[in-house]
Every structure is written in structure tokens, then in C-alpha cells.
Amino acid sequence: MLEDAIDSLLSHPKTSTKRLAALADYLKQQLAKEGLPNVRGGSGGELQVPGLSRTKNWDVAFEFAGKFRLLISLKSMLKNVSGSVPNRLDDLQGELANVQQLRPEIVIGYVVLFDLEGLWFVRFDSRKPKGQRLVSPRKAARDRTAFLTALLCELKLREPAIEFQR
């Protein structure tokens, strides 16, 4: 269960290499439920994947015909989000470039855990023409509504004197 993976993360010291193993195990189970067998990583250990400039450890990986086809990297940002976000974005760019320059066929996933009151993650494809760049406009709209609702509910709880105009 995802909640168990988060509880496990919070129970380990922040320097522990095992902090995200339960989340990786959770993802392995979910991928198996979706029909993808023999996904590796998690409590079985990170996987070393050669890249263009260096070998990188990945949290979850799937191999097919002797080649990695799917890689997932897990990150957590629980403190100092303003400092962590740029570092994690740099990590992501480096990890993608390192692996995909050598093997562009590999599918990359990036899971980030935030300890925030609200988050809206918007996926877009810059290669598409103007007006068609959102990957899933309906999902973006649903996620936006959930994000704003969560923030406004928390604001109402913390400051009940605010008069909303709706």
C-alpha cells in the first residue's frame, strides 16, 4: 500500500539508503498488477545501469531481451523544498541525459515525494504545436481543481475570518 511506503520512508533516517525501498517495492507490485513481470529493484537493491558518462543506480528497472527498457528513479523532498527542487531537477536532467543519450529507447519514470500542503504537477510536451502541448488537458484540469481545493480548504481552516466571494 502506498501509505505503508510513506510510513516506511518516514521511519528511516534521512541518510538511509533504504528509505525508498518500500516505495520501490510498491511500484514493482503495481507494475506486476499491470502485467509487467520480473521488475527488479526495491528491497532487492538498486540496479546499476551504465550511462554515457557514468554508471547510475536506479530504484526500479525492467529488462527485456538483455536490455533495460524501463527505469524509475525515486526522490523525496521532505525538508528545504526551495533548495531541494532545483537539485532534484538537476538530478533528473543528468539522469535522463546520461542514460538516454546512450540508449534512447529506455522509458524513464521519475517519482518525487513532497511533504507539502498542495502540489499541481502539469505534464506538457514542448515538441507539440501551440495549444496542443498539454499531455492530458482533462487530467491537468482535475488536478488543478484538487490542488486549489486543498489549498483553499487549508486556508479556510487556518484563517476562518477570510470572506470568500463565492
CB 62 within 8 A of CB 100: no
CATH annotation of 2-116: 3.40.1350
Each domain of the chain, given as residue ranges in start order, spans: 2-116, 117-166
Whether pTM exceeds 0.75 = no
- What one-letter code names the amino acid at 126? S
Mean pLDDT for back-to-back runs of 10 residues, the chain (166 residues): 88 86 93 91 86 85 89 80 71 74 82 77 82 88 86 80 74
CB 28 within 8 A of CB 39: yes
pLDDT at 40: 94
pLDDT at 81: 65
CB 34 within 8 A of CB 28: no
**What CA–CA distance (Å, rounded) separates 111 from 159?**
33
